[in-house]
Chain A
């Protein structure tokens, strides 16, 4: 049944969020730490386990796949509910800080990709070296 897949997805998300919340409390942060990431790992592990035991028929898969295929529309709705006016009204400081950070981090993507490909060595680029 399709709902089994959606329920599996919901189960993973709830368990992930609970673990993330507990992690946040343990670390003394008022925020959820990686709950969604943990939920993703859980879904990967559980679905792999079910697939190997042949317990993942097509209808069940559809219950999950619907939500991943509705991802882009949800992201468009998310974009449409951003506080764009506030971002635009933060003045030069907000603009400069945002632009500079994004450009620096984008520039670091190829640097890190290269490092990791031959035995990751973080000492190659300490954060203090970046302008």
Chain B
């Protein structure tokens, strides 16, 4: 007999701490993300003397944790598939992400958008065509010869949403659709990681180039995270054009671009 509480039973029972944290999953997520940012700003200061932005490290840690979560659970939402951390999925889902993106536009001058509007439109169009072209060429190099598969993989190189939307419209095989999603995910993750490192080389330091960057890249999550890790003030400009990209890609992919691909196959 002991007067000590039975810790094991407390942790595993229905009213245990784990259940408590699961029930308050959004709060758990807020704490978790705060902890990630605290660790990453510590690493940024101590290990890189501030050369690598704390948010870049935090985003990279997020991706690494997403990989771990995916391996542990076999799910599709990274760390958010761990029941205890389901709130990460809500906090990082499109609802809150889009609200925060819209909020970044607060205080931006309208003239700045109008002045760069034309280059934004050019960047969008060029970005969609270049992605389809390169994705399509890679598909061809890997032995795909039918217009449906080439267009679908090209669409995946645009974004991981354009891929399956185009593939479904064109009746592409599920294997090809899965490849297009994977290509889009690779693109989005690469944009998150690479952007802060190449920013100065490609002149990504002003609203104009951020607007062009968003239009060319198109992946909202990649652009949102890449610019956050580079310079937070550039976020609204890049996000603005990027949010038009997926819709336009879904419009052009199964129609105009498929017809162009058809001419060459």
Contacts and interface: CB of A to CB of B under 8 A. Distances in A.
A80 B203 contact: no
Contacts of A116: 116, 118-119, 122, 208, 212
B153 A36 contact: no
A82 B188 contact: yes
**Range of interface residues on A (Cβ < 8 Å):** 35 or more
Contacts, number: 341
Nearest to A81: B80
A62 B204 CA distance: 29
A34 B243 contact: yes
Pick from A43, A78, A112 the residue with the most CB of B within 10 Å: A78
Given A33-B251, A78-B221, A120-B118, A105 B186 contact: no
Interface in A89-126: 89-102, 104-110, 112-113, 115-117, 120, 122, 125
Interface string B25-61: 0000110011011000000000000000001001111
Decide if the interface of chain B is mainly helix, strand, loop or mixed. helix
Nearest to B190: A102
A2 B105 CA distance: 18
Given A80-B63, A106-B202, A109-B204, A29 B251 contact: yes
A80 B65 contact: yes
B186 A95 contact: yes
Interface string A29-42: 11111111101110
A36 B98 contact: yes
Contacts of B66: 79-85
B151 interface: no
A-side interface mostly: helix
**Which of A23, A61, A72 is packed against the most chain B CB atoms within 10 Å?**
A72
Interface string B84-116: 000011011100111111111111111001001
Interface of B: 29-30, 33-34, 36-37, 55, 58-67, 69-71, 76-80, 88-89, 91-93, 96-110, 113, 116, 118-119, 122-123, 125-127, 129-131, 133-135, 138-139, 141-142, 153, 156-157, 161, 165, 178-179, 181-192, 194, 198, 202-204, 208-209, 212-213, 216-217, 220-221, 224-225, 228, 232, 235-236, 239-241, 243-244, 246-248, 250-251
7 contacts: A9-B106, A68-B100, A74-B96, A80-B80, A82-B62, A100-B157, A102-B191
CB-CB nearest 10 A-B residue pairs:
A90-B182, A98-B186, A77-B92, A33-B247, A79-B62, A85-B70, A116-B119, A87-B185, A78-B92, A94-B182
